[in-house]
């Protein structure tokens, strides 16, 4: 008899072992994880509306990147919730799709940053910083909820990696707003947008690699 997967998150370990030495990887199939993931989806949806509104008003590349990140997280975490309890191929395939979406998001942000560099107008650094800190608070709450579920298969792991990285993203946005406020230049905002796009690409590569390894093993 193997260790029930619902008990795995309390250990904080990526893997557990059954009585016969069988390795069990947490796949998210526990009521507690489902509830937490539902809450995290809601947090990201609210943050998208708030930060996205500011991005539209300001025309900020950094805020636009952060808002799209919240939107992508809401959609991909919902996909993760749907994939829980399904076959390894389905769960790994869902994680692979999330990695691909992060790659597309990064390319979109690169394009927006270039467009802003050509057509941009002065920005309100205080607004960007305030919304960046709001985004950080939302991500910090999500990270606290997910902390004990940070290890598992590619589907579970991708949720934690995205949330953890989002803390850095939001602080980057807040810092860019402060530099815009001090310098009166829009370039810190554009540079932050490009840096965020690079971080999205890095996360996408990590998720895709684990997903492909699990698909190959399956």
Bridge partners (DSSP) listed for residue 24:
16
Q: Compute the distance between CA of residue 216 and CA of residue 201 in angstroms, rounded to an integer.
A: 22
H or E segment at 72?
helix 61-83
- pLDDT the model gives residue 204: 78
Name all domains of the chain by residue range, CATH numbers in brackets: 30-217 (1.20.1510)
Q: Both tokens of residue 124?
A: 């309100």
The total number of residues shown for the chain amounts to 218
Question: Is the whole model's pTM more than 0.75, yes or no?
Answer: no
For every one of its 218 residues, what pLDDT tens digit does the chain have, with 9 covering 90 and above? 333 333 334 444 444 444 454 556 777 778 889 999 999 999 999 999 999 898 888 878 788 888 888 988 888 788 878 877 777 777 777 777 777 877 887 787 777 777 776 776 667 888 889 999 999 999 999 999 998 888 887 778 878 888 888 888 899 889 988 998 898 888 888 888 888 888 778 777 877 787 777 777 76
Decide: 132 and 176 in contact? Cβ < 8 Å: yes
């Amino acid at each position: 008899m193997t260790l029930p997967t619902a008990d795995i998150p309390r250990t904080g370990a990526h893997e557990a072992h059954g009585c016969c030495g069988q390795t069990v990887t947490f796949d998210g199939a526990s009521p507690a994880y489902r509830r937490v993931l539902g809450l995290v989806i809601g947090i990201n949806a609210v943050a998208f509306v708030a930060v996205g509104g500011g991005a539209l008003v300001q025309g900020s590349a950094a805020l636009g990147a952060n808002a799209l990140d919240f939107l992508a997280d809401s959609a991909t975490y919902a996909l993760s919730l749907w994939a829980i309890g399904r076959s390894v191929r389905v769960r790994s395939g869902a994680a692979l799709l999330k990695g691909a979406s992060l790659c597309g998001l990064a390319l979109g942000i690169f394009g927006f940053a270039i467009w802003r560099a050509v057509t941009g107008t002065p920005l309100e650094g205080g607004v960007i910083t305030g919304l960046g800190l709001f985004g950080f608070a939302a991500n910090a709450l999500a990270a606290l909820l997910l902390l004990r579920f940070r290890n598992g298969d590619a589907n579970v792991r991708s949720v934690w990696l995205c949330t953890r990285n989002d803390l850095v993203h939001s602080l980057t946005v807040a810092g860019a707003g402060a530099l815009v406020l001090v310098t009166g230049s829009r370039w810190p905002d554009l540079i932050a947008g490009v840096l965020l796009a690079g971080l999205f690409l890095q996360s996408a590569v990590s998720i895709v690699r684990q997903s492909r390894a699990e698909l190959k093993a399956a």
